[in-house]
A and B are shown apart, each in its own frame.
Chain A
Amino acid sequence: MTELTEEQVRSELELVLERRSADTRLTTMGAGSDDLEDGRQYLAGTVDGGWHVPTWPHEHGGRGASPSQNALIGRLLREFIVPDLYPFAIGLGMVGPALLAHGTQKQQDDWLRPIASGSSIWCQMFSEPEAGSDLANVALKADRDGDEWVLSGQKTWTSRAMWADWAICLARTDPGQPKHKGLTMFALPIDTPGVDVRPLTQMNRDAHFSEVFVENARALDAWRIGDIGEGWRVAMTVLAHERAGGGSRGGGDGNARGIRVPGWISDLRDLGVAEDRLWQNEVVKIYSHDGVSRWTSQRAADEARASGAPGPAGSGAKLRSVKSYKDRAYLSNRSAGCYGMLSDGHGYIETMTAPSMSIRGGTDEIQRNILGERVLGLPGEPRLDRDVPWNESRRGLL
């Protein structure tokens, strides 16, 4: 493929997208509207050019782009209006790359293009009441029955389940193996009989997370992703892509061409606090950290796409971008003074959402463990149940 120039990419993107202006504001992940249409139109409009997932093969909705082309496209995309793709993010950023790494040809043919074009939404049935940070403790079981599997158990914190057409579901297929070994990954249509989605309301009033109850739901063996007992490996690919910020393209406002002042800062200016030197100091600190955070995320995402197997850089990127989000939210809310205490106050939804940022997608503590162990080579956390058969450790041996 010949090298693309900035001008070529820009002129092609101009055919399908609108340019971003200084007034464009981003919505908060998961706490935005329930409107799926903007995202659908954007993805449907960009899929033929392969602009949103450039590194995917052309036949699956990408354009087979090299890492450097991908980085260029990503940068230029930020000059255009990219809607809140929150509903589509699991498919685009996590399931897609995992299918490219572990899926069969038929699975890729069937599922990837609908993800890229926005026609199918995926969710991720991983966490359970007893398997949060300790994800490998998953108890939802899958028993083989001929060409099918029978799934029973409970998932929780399943974001986007109410919009989803498909889920990827981590299940225990061999309870006699140690906890990381007896797991297998499945794809499952969310309307499969026996699957019941019940929304959980968060303190920011968002109800986009759900509990999912599964009772004797039948999955075809053809929907199994990866080998039996290899579920943990597939899950790690998915989570590494989550940390690396896959699917979050369009994030980080205000760095479009010609826009120097990000929206959150001009909003602060409108609140009349810009004269205050202490505030200026805080603003500049966050602005600088934001820049570093964006580049770190970009680097982690590019590395992930380039190698197809994201490394621990994603953990660093997630820690940074979470800190950025929280600092911005708290400063914005504080800047509104006593009016910030009202439920329609400046920065309300961001403040209510902020604590969850360092929890969802792997807590700060888990990310730091990953960095400590995999980057610095520090001694690992004690893992008492690592080599014990899962069904024995469950009986409280430890």
Chain B
Amino acid sequence: MTELAEVDPLVTETADRLFTQVCDHEAVQTAEAVGTAPEIWSAFAETGFPWISIDETCGGSGGTLLDALEVLRLVGYHAAPIPAAETGILGGWLLADAGHEIPEGPVTVLPNGATDVKGSLSGQEVTLTGTCIRVPWARMAERIAVLLEIDGQNMVASVDPNDCVIHTMTNMAGEPRDTVCFDNVKAPASSASEANPETFRFRGALSRSALMAGAIEKMSQLTVTYTNDRVQFGRPVARFQAVQQHLVWGAQEAALARMAAETAAREANRGLASFEIAAAKLITNQAAARATKACHQAHGAMGMTQEYPLHHYSRRLWAWRKEYGGDAEWSRWLGKAAVAQGAEGLYPLITGGSSVLS
């Protein structure tokens, strides 16, 4: 067995410090009102963090996928309103995979792949037509990395968003999820090497699991702090058993989500990880539902207001839960995988994970 990679502690420490400085409650609130957060993005980009795990020869920052996912966990933990996953392990990965130049600014991707966009190839150029919704931060992207299949070949086009019509829209958390219209948009395209709709979908789920694990952990911590400060009936409400039960739910969901996300990250870092990623997305989805319920209830009315930060996390979790596969989608995938192994293969699948599926 190969040695398991570890997260570089310097990545955790630096990213956490950066977001603590630039990403407080007011900054996140302002980003939602304004629609983008250029200052937070600049501070983030300056560290090179957006391009971790993308090879330096392609214009990335090097480092492992494990480190990139650790940064995403912290993006979730601080509710950082920036296209971190899209620029790095999704869009950056697609561009690098097909040998495109990595731009200096943010990159985004079409979350459904290109199912809503049609392309025709002419030499090294593709012409795109169609409309795609829920595109993260398209309004501030320098490139849109479009993965599409042409004549049985997976291609990646590097689209200039200025050639598209972009209608701004948001998700439940107020994060940009724009509608992008391609009307005979021409863009350079080249063949992908490992990127295809399946690997992209799994990477998407992996990115959301990391973000969600971070957000659930923060929510749990906020709840413990708040209920220890909040005095009713002559004592902190955290002393009441009925409230403690909520705190335990929050904490155990945070631990569960992080464990699942980190296991998937570690396996993905080694190679094949479809089973772990599917399980991680389902687990974080379900943990998000239970944790948001418990944490909101323990906060009482204060947690429902704009002025208290809980909603930055709960609303993001509700939105992320639905991106790159909701509960039903991953339950079905896991169910099919288990059934395909037969009764005797079930236990080996649970203990061995993706290595059994190969």
Contacts and interface: CB of A to CB of B under 8 A. Distances in A.
Q: Does B bind A?
A: yes
A351 B301 contact: no
Interface stretch (A99-107, A161-169, A226-234, A333-341): A333-341
A338 B133 CA distance: 10
B82 to A, nearest CB: 18
B292 interface: yes
Interface stretch (A129-137, A183-191, A288-296, A300-308): A129-137
A334 B305 contact: no
A355 B232 contact: no
Interface stretch (A74-82, A196-204, A252-260): A196-204
Contacts of B318: 333, 341, 351
Contacts of A376: none
B171 interface: yes
A398 interface: yes
A359 B300 contact: yes
Contacts of B315: 203, 352
A360 interface: yes
Counting chain B residues whose Cβ lies within 8 A of the other chain, the interface size class is 35 or more
B212 to A, nearest CB: 13
A200 B234 CA distance: 26
Contacts of A348: 172
Given A351-B318, A352-B315, A342 B172 contact: yes
Nearest to A369: B242
Contacts of A383: 233
Nearest to B331: A278
B322 A359 contact: no
B169 interface: yes
A109 B177 CA distance: 56
Given A343-B169, A368-B242, A338 B305 contact: no
Interface in B299-339: 300-301, 303-307, 311, 314-315, 318-323, 326-328
B174 interface: yes
A200 B301 CA distance: 11
Interface-centre pick from B292, B305, B315, B322 (highest chain A CB count, 10 A): B322
B281 interface: no
A393 interface: yes
Contact of B134 (A330, A341, A359): A341
Nearest to B169: A342
Contacts of B328: 276, 278
A343 B172 contact: yes
Given A203-B305, A351-B172, A363 B232 contact: no
Contact of B314 (A127, A333, A355): A355
B5 interface: no
Contact of A384 (B171, B234, B320): B234
Nearest to A130: B231
Contacts of A148: none
Query: Which of B134, B171, B304, B314 is packed against the most chain A CB atoms within 10 Å?
Result: B304
Interface string A340-382: 1111110010011001101110011100110000000000010
Interface in A157-193: 157
A383 B319 CA distance: 41
B81 to A, nearest CB: 15
A385 interface: yes
Interface in A81-121: none
Contact count band on A = 35 or more
A276 to B, nearest CB: 8
Given A338-B326, A341-B177, A352-B172, A200 B233 contact: no
A352 B317 CA distance: 12
B300 A202 contact: no
A363 B297 contact: yes
Given A352-B315, A359-B300, A341 B322 contact: yes
A319 to B, nearest CB: 13
B134 A200 contact: no
Contacts of B88: none
A337 B326 contact: yes
A201 B323 contact: no
Among all A-B residue pairs, the 4 with the closest Cβ atoms? A203-B311, A355-B296, A134-B232, A398-B234
28 contacts: A132-B300, A137-B233, A201-B307, A203-B304, A203-B306, A203-B311, A204-B304, A330-B289, A337-B322, A338-B134, A338-B322, A338-B323, A338-B326, A341-B177, A341-B322, A341-B323, A343-B170, A343-B171, A345-B172, A352-B172, A355-B296, A355-B304, A359-B296, A359-B301, A360-B301, A384-B234, A384-B235, A398-B234
Interface of B: 111, 133-134, 169-172, 174, 177, 231-235, 237, 240, 242-243, 289, 292-293, 296-297, 300-301, 303-307, 311, 314-315, 318-323, 326-328
Given A334-B327, A355-B292, A359-B300, 17 more contacts: A127-B301, A132-B300, A133-B232, A133-B233, A202-B306, A203-B305, A278-B328, A330-B289, A333-B318, A341-B134, A341-B172, A341-B322, A342-B169, A356-B301, A356-B304, A365-B242, A393-B234
